[in-house]
Amino acid sequence: MVRSQAAKPPADRAPARADADHSKPQTDQSVAAAPVAPPRSPSAAAATPPAAGDGVYGGPICFGAIQTFPAICFPAEATLRQGRIAGEWPGRDPNTTMHIEGDVSASGHATLRLHGKKSDGSHFAAFDFSGTLRDGKLDATGAFLNGRSASIELEQELRLICPGWRRR
């Protein structure tokens, strides 16, 4: 019985080009194997998947008018990840940075704290917000100790689909 080349065990197989003329240039006709993903470390395997609503949010933060200050709005941006939201941006005054941080529950209840920080490390304008995250929109309200009202209207930005595009 004659066995075909494919049916022989690997040790019995002769190289396919054993009789090839090595004086001629050879072209490689082999097919590259698909890349293999590196093994995942136990810590990577245990990483928590993104929570619903995770992403970058942007929109206005507005302060209501009081006797000495007119109403004002300014753009803000924060990132929500695993129920924690945080962001910072340059303040209106030189050498100041505004910071926001807080929590968003699985049900969508949000508690946030906004404060300013000067370049010398001192804090100013701290106040708290309470609101909800629903359908990619975070709406919250708060007030300063002096009674000045404040509101946040942040919407999830769709940067991965189309950089720079925001919901309207």
More confident residue, 18 or 128: 128
Give the domain CATH number at 143. Answer: 2.40.128
Give residue 1's pLDDT: 46
For residue 92, the enclosing domain spans 55-156
95: in domain: yes
Give residue 126's pLDDT: 86
DSSP annotation string for the chain: -PPPGGGS-GGGPPPTTTT--TTS-----PPPPPPPPPPPPHHHHTPPPPPTT-EEEEEEEEE--BTTB--EEEEEEEEEETTEEEEEEE-SSTTEEEEEEEEE-TT-EEEEEEEEEETTS-EEEEEEEEEEEETTEEEEEEE-TTS-EEEEEEEEB-TTTSTT-B--
Confidence band of 120 (pLDDT split at 50, 70, 90): very high
101: in domain: yes
111: in domain: yes
47: in domain: no
The total number of structural domains that make up the chain: 1
